[in-house]
Each structure stands twice: as structure tokens, then as C-alpha cells.
């Protein structure tokens, strides 16, 4: 992997991490197009490591919110008067909502980095989860705001986030859809998706860092990928929050389905191999 690969993958990560179109799926496609070995553990690890750039963008963008939530959560541990506040509850929601994907990620690591690293999986998941996104917009009441969040919502959205371990589903597509099914408005569902992404992706990046470092990928190449992902992801976050305020997530379905169908065509014709 060279610096050109790092820039391309950083751009792809930054653009797709928070859009409901699957960053892992796009990175898998991009890595294949760049001629990288999808079975190489260091390449798989690099995919997780550059996500740290996207997470840094979330932390910077929502720094005041995160600081306020962290402070209220910590104070609530010792001062009962803070425990009913939204910020204190949000701290617990993020913690509890992250547990399912953390457990599943550890238990299914070999499956995630092995059989699921197939473009067949990416193509089918892109198309199949589009139906879930359509249903979420169709049946979701969208009459609940951030102040209406409850622990039940955190648990259910956290469970739905596990589906994003399948490349092509999309972590944001899964969590935003989950929020919509529970009646949350799009902006609230998207903000919850952003907050849940922080511990999940930081843990994934730190977990895969040793594999990335032990491979033949230079430190400079990793740094470039992370920095590019940060810059692009920051711009994407700002755009997405404005977009979902007035547009349904079904706007992304034609792209998802089109890419999935194109990918299936390339695989069936033998133009591109699955791994």
C-alpha cells in the first residue's frame, strides 16, 4: 500500500462512514480496485484504523455536546440531581447501545475479516438493506425528539447496529433506520447514530491497530489515510445533518441499489473477483 492508496481510501472512508451507503462496503470495493489483497490481515486492519480519522471528525464537530454529556454522566454517578437530565441519560444510552456490537465484533472477528470480506456479500447487503431503509421511512412516525429517548431505544438501536458488521449494510444506515422505526425524527436518529459511532469505531480501530502495525504498511501511509479521512468526514457530517433535516434517507436507495446491481454484474461476468 502506498500514499496514493492511502489518499483514495481516506477519501472513500470520509465520504461514506456517516452516509447510509456502507463505508466498509465501499472500502472493500476500493481496495479491490486498487489491486490490494482483501485477504491480507494488514489491509483489513488498515480499513479499521483509518476510521479513527472519521471518529476524530465526529469528536471535533460535536465536542461541546460530548463534553457536556460526559460531564453530566460523571456528575450523575455521585449526585442524584443529575440523573434525570438528558445529558446524563445520553451518556448511559451511548454506553449501553455500544455493548451489543462490541460483543458481536469480538465473537465474530474471524467471520467478519474472513467470509464476510467478499464482494458478493457487499452487493447483496447494499440491495437488501435498502428495503429496510425504505420501510423505516415508510412506517416511522418521526414524532419523537432527543428528549424523548429512553433506555429501550438505546438497547434496540444498539442491537440493530450489529447488522452493520456485514459489509454493505452501513452502520449509519442501520442505526438511523433503527431510530426511525422507533419513531425518532431524522435529525435525532442521525445524532444518536453519530454518538454511537464514537466508542464502536474507536474500539474497532484500536483493536485492529496491532495487525496494521505488524504488516508492511508504513506508519506514514496510515497517518495520511487518517488525516484525509478526518478532513473529508468533517465536511460530510456538516452536510448530512443539514440534508436529513429536509430529506428522507430513501434518497440514498437508488445509489445503493444501483451500485449493488453493478457489482453483481461485474462479479457474474467475471470482470471482478469476489475476494
Rounded Cα distance, 10 and 258, in Å: 23
What's the start-to-end Cα distance of the chain, in Å? 17
Which value, in Å, is the radius of gyration of the alpha carbons in the chain?
Answer: 18
Task: State the CB neighbour count (10 A cutoff) for residue 151.
Answer: 12
Contact by Cβ (8 Å): 160, 178: yes
- What's CA 13's distance to the chain center, in Å? 10
Band (pLDDT 50/70/90 cuts) for residue 46 is confident
Sequence-ordered list of residues with C-beta below 8 angstroms from that of 109, at least 6 positions apart, any chain: none
User: Between 217 and 51, where is the model more confident?
Assistant: 51
- Decide if pLDDT at 224 tops 80: yes
pLDDT tens-digit series, residues 195-217: 998 888 788 777 767 766 766 77
The per-residue DSSP string of 27-53 comes to: HHHHHHHTT--TT-HHHHHHHHHTHHH
Contact by Cβ (8 Å): 197, 171: yes
pLDDT at 38: 79
User: Between 245 and 176, where is the model more confident?
Assistant: 176
Mean of pLDDT values over 35-55: 83
Q: Residue with C-alpha cell 429512553?
A: 150
pLDDT tens-digit series, residues 65-122: 999 999 999 999 999 998 889 999 999 999 999 999 999 988 988 888 788 888 999 9
Sequence-ordered list of residues with C-beta below 8 angstroms from that of 79, at least 6 positions apart, any chain: none
Phi, psi angle pair for 238, to nearest 5° = -60, -40
Amino acid at each position: 500500500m502506498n500514499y496514493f492508496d492511502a489518499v483514495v481510501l481516506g477519501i472513500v472512508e470520509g465520504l461514506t462512514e456517516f452516509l447510509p451507503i456502507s463505508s466498509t462496503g465501499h472500502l472493500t470495493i476500493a481496495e479491490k480496485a486498487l489491486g490490494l489483497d482483501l485477504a491480507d490481515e494488514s489491509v483489513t486492519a488498515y480499513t479499521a484504523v483509518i476510521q479513527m480519522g472519521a471518529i476524530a471528525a465526529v469528536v471535533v464537530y460535536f465536542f461541546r455536546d460530548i463534553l457536556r454529556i460526559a460531564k453530566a454522566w460523571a456528575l450523575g454517578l455521585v449526585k442524584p440531581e443529575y440523573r434525570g437530565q438528558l445529558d446524563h441519560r445520553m451518556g448511559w444510552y451511548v454506553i449501553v447501545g455500544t455493548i451489543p456490537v462490541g460483543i458481536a465484533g469480538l465473537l465474530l472477528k474471524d467471520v467478519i475479516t474472513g467470509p464476510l470480506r467478499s464482494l458478493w456479500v457487499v452487493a447483496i447487503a447494499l440491495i437488501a438493506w435498502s428495503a429496510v431503509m425504505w420501510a423505516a421511512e415508510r412506517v416511522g412516525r418521526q414524532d419523537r425528539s432527543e428528549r424523548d429517548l429512553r433506555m429501550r431505544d438505546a438497547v434496540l438501536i444498539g442491537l440493530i447496529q450489529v447488522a452493520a458488521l456485514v459489509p454493505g449494510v452501513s452502520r449509519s444506515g442501520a442505526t438511523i433506520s433503527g431510530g426511525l422505526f422507533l419513531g425518532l425524527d431524522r435529525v435525532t436518529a442521525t445524532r444518536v447514530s453519530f454518538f454511537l459511532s464514537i466508542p464502536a469505531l474507536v474500539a474497532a480501530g484500536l483493536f485492529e491497530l496491532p495487525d496494521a502495525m505488524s504488516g508492511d504498511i508504513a506508519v506514514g501511509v496510515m497517518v495520511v489515510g487518517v488525516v484525509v479521512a478526518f478532513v473529508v468526514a468533517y465536511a460530510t457530517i456538516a452536510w448530512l445533518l443539514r440534508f436529513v433535516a429536509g430529506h428522507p434517507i430513501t434518497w440514498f436507495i437508488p445509489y445503493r441499489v444501483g451500485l449493488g446491481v453493478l457489482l453483481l454484474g461485474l462479479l457474474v461476468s467475471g470482470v471482478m473477483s469476489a475476494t
